[in-house]
């Protein structure tokens, strides 16, 4: 399956003419996207940053943006609203303060599929809902734009209330700088599935593999210092992934020694992936796509703001750091403090 890729030439900016564009949030993505959009020629008096009165609002003001602290007032003026506040607070803020005040034909833009895929936001059928989801942190969205370069991005229409949702999505993608390198046609489902799968299946396995490998090598007599450096502190894994992005997932192996290439290719082919595949499918279908994780997560969301052991994330950190790997790293870092 190959996806359609949209470039600058696919986007018609006329569709944004005269529209008032509201950025809800001026954090990682909000600050970057609002500045890119303005530098692409959208007049400053057509841009409103909606933010509570604090340092984010001050930052927006210092960059010359019109800031509105009252979200209802901002929503009333919006023809387009970018939801660029953290995903976990979007349903409450959007459904109570933004949605009741939005125009019937407004376009709502999300940068992540989660709340749309799990139907946590209340839209009117007459409104447009689009996803413009950069695959980069905000500072890179901005710095690549300033250098005249594009950045990878997913784009989709999730609800086409006006019949112009795709046109609007592409025009917005272009003014934030996303169609320069090509924006990939995607969907909230695809983005959410891949994101949550990586977080709940792929990376937990990678963490587990490092944890177990550490213990096996330690038992075989390797020192904590040598292991920490060998496995990650030398930044070799980071370099491997950098090369994978540049040269190819498999082709990057050619930068390694012949012994290493042989060992890695032969070892990976010899491993039977059946059990891993079943495990991955189970997570994807029975935890991610069926909404089980989303329901469980929404029950603990409020606890994630708490302090100490009342916060489930703190408990997970404590347990993870109790592993042999976690304890050893703490000792090594304390010993090498100042040298790292
Ligand atoms: P941030 O954590 O940087 O958002 C901070 C902004 O949200 C600030 O303006 C903050 O203002 C506001 N905010 C936080 N809590 C609240 C609240 N309770 N009520 C109102 N405003 C609030 O968000 P990101 O930029 O990281 O994420 C925004 C969206 O972009 C998300 O959908 C995310 O998934 C997506 N995304 C993020 C990427 C990233 O690099 N981080 C990459 C790609 C997509 P204040 O606290 O002052 O009210």
Whether the CB-CB separation of 51 and 62 falls below 8 Å is answered with: no
Q: Which residue has the higher pLDDT, 40 or 302?
A: 40
Which atom of ligand 1 sits closest to the CA of residue 84? 28
The pocket around ligand 1, CB under 6 angstroms, is made up of 25-30, 51-52, 54, 56, 84-87, 89, 93, 111-112, 133-134, 137-138
Is pLDDT above 80 for 113? yes
Q: What is the pTM of this model?
A: 0.93
SS3 127: coil
Between CA 155 and CA 29 the distance in angstroms is 15
- For 5-186, CATH gives 3.40.50.720
Whether the CB-CB separation of 228 and 332 falls below 8 Å is answered with: yes
* pLDDT at position 29: 98
CA-based nearest residue to 301, from 316, 312, 317, 290: 312
Instruction: Name the token pair of 58.
Output: 């001050």
Q: Span 275-293, mean pLDDT? A: 98
Q: Tell me, in angstroms, the distance from the centre of ligand 1 to residue 28's CA.
A: 7
Helix axes 28-39 and 165-175, enclosed angle (nearest 10): 90
Instruction: Name the token pair of 221.
Output: 């007599």
Q: Tell me, in angstroms, the distance from the centre of ligand 1 to residue 27's CA.
A: 5
Q: Tell me, in angstroms, the distance from the centre of ligand 1 to residue 87's CA.
A: 7
Whether the CB-CB separation of 115 and 87 falls below 8 Å is answered with: yes
Instruction: Please state, rounded to an integer, the average pLDDT across all residues of the chain.
Output: 97
Q: Tell me, in angstroms, the distance from the centre of ligand 1 to residue 20's CA.
A: 21
* pLDDT at position 337: 80
CA angle 187, 189, 191 (to 5 degrees): 70
% of the chain at pLDDT higher than 70? 99
Between CA 328 and CA 321 the distance in angstroms is 9
Supply the Cα-derived Rg of the chain in whole angstroms.
23
Between CA 41 and CA 21 the distance in angstroms is 13
Residues of the chain with CATH 3.40.50.720: 5-186
Q: Span 206-233, mean pLDDT? A: 97
Query: pLDDT tens for residues 245-275?
Result: 999 999 999 999 999 999 999 999 999 999 9
Q: Span 215-242, mean pLDDT? A: 96
């Amino acid at each position: 399956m190959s996806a359609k890729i949209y470039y600058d030439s696919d986007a018609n900016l006329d569709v944004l003419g005269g529209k008032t564009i509201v950025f809800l949030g001026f954090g990682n993505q909000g600050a970057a996207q609002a500045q890119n959009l303005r530098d692409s020629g959208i007049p400053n008096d057509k841009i409103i940053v909606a933010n509570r009165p604090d340092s984010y609002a001050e930052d927006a003001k210092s960059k010359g943006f019109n800031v509105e602290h009252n979200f209802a007032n901002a929503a009333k003026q919006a023809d387009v609203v970018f939801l660029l506040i953290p995903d976990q607070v979007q349903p409450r803020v959007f459904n109570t303060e933004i949605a009741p005040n939005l125009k019937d034909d407004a376009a709502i833009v999300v940068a992540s599929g989660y709340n749309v895929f799990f139907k946590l936001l209340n839209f009117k059928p007459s409104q447009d809902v689009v996803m413009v989801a950069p695959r980069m942190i905000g500072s890179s969205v901005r710095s690549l734009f300033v250098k005249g370069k594009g950045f990878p991005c997913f784009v989709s229409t999730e609800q086409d209330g006006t019949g112009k949702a795709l046109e609007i999505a592409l025009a917005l993608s272009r003014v934030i700088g996303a169609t320069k390198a090509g924006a990939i046609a995607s969907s909230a489902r695809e983005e959410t599935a891949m994101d949550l799968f990586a977080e709940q299946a792929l990376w937990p396995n990678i963490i587990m593999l490092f944890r177990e490998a550490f213990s096996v090598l330690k038992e075989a007599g390797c020192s904590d210092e040598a292991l920490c450096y060998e496995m990650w502190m030398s930044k070799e894994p980071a370099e491997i992934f950098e090369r994978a992005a540049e040269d190819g997932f498999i082709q990057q192996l050619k930068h390694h020694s012949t012994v290493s290439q042989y060992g890695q290719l032969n070892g990976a082919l010899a491993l039977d992936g059946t059990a891993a595949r079943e495990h991955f499918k189970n997570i994807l279908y029975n935890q991610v796509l069926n909404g089980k994780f989303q329901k469980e997560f929404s029950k603990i969301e409020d606890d994630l703001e708490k302090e100490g052991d009342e916060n489930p994330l703190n408990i997970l950190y404590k347990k993870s750091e109790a592993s042999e790997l976690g304890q050893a790293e703490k000792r090594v870092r304390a010993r090498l403090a100042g040298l790292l």
